[in-house]
Copies of this chain bind each other. A is one copy, B any other.
């Protein structure tokens, strides 16, 4: 472990471990198992672009020593990520593409895959490294089944959030509220991570660079949708973490929502305070892929957000645009740095071990 990184606590809010179908087979019952084993069924996957590296969307140097996909080997991840950076904790967000919640049709298969993934994750990752905490994957197309899955694995001590993919689903919709009810019941946070499907007027933009530039717009849509649908009034203990969307879009979004609320609040009477206050209290944003910037620029964004508690560091390991804890952010004030690298995440995941005398409340 490098001495430099040992100097600060680090909670990494976005690590992608990866399962292959063959690894999931032992966790699947028939007929689901047979569809993959005998029928060679695969999930839809269509990203129509050349990929940024020879390892696709992953770091080329994260391919495992025996040639396996990046993120597929715990030992190698421990060495390359957790030990190297001195992680206190890391939150696993998976890499089953697309998420079961994004599968079109055949929700039963999606439900079976989510369950198998959760069991595989618990056995092979969460119970093998004290530093790793996990995400409950669900097939939200059928909220009743999704809630059953949350009930089944959500009380596992290493499960800290329910993962919802950002796709074409408006997650504020009352149809999905049973999921938030279950989250509160199990002290789980909600993590939202964009999935591969389109954000561009519902279609694919022409280039990967466009798609990647536009990722925050889909995060903005979800935040606005959650706020104006009154989710945080209905579930006052809910924590929402927006993952892999960065944070530089947040000042605009807060300002814009507030202005619209001043003018149009009669339309959403269930929202009973300023959207920016709701965001400050309930929503966190993970840093990666953070733009290169000076401390002055960074602090301007923090000033515009009106809070030091909203940004949580993430590496997004093993993706191609991995952010190093040592290099990604400018030098910041020590207290703020502590919040961003660990304490904001700790406060947003109630099931993470809490510090005695923590600086955040």
Contacts and interface: CB of A to CB of B under 8 A. Distances in A.
Given A206-B229, A217-B220, A225-B205, A255 B248 contact: yes
A201 B263 contact: no
Contact of A260 (B169, B213, B303, B304): B213
Contacts of A260: 209, 212-213
Say how many copies of this protein the assembly contains: 2
Contact of A252 (B216, B229, B267): B216
Nearest to A174: B206
Interface in A240-280: 246, 248-249, 251-253, 255-265, 267-268
A224 interface: yes
Contact of A249 (B52, B173, B249, B293): B249
A264 to B, nearest CB: 4
A66 interface: no
A199 interface: yes
Interface string A195-218: 000111111011111101110111
Nearest to A249: B252
Interface of A: 49-50, 52, 167-170, 172-173, 198-203, 205-210, 212-214, 216-218, 220-221, 224-225, 228-229, 246, 248-249, 251-253, 255-265, 267-268, 289, 291-293, 297, 300, 303-304, 321
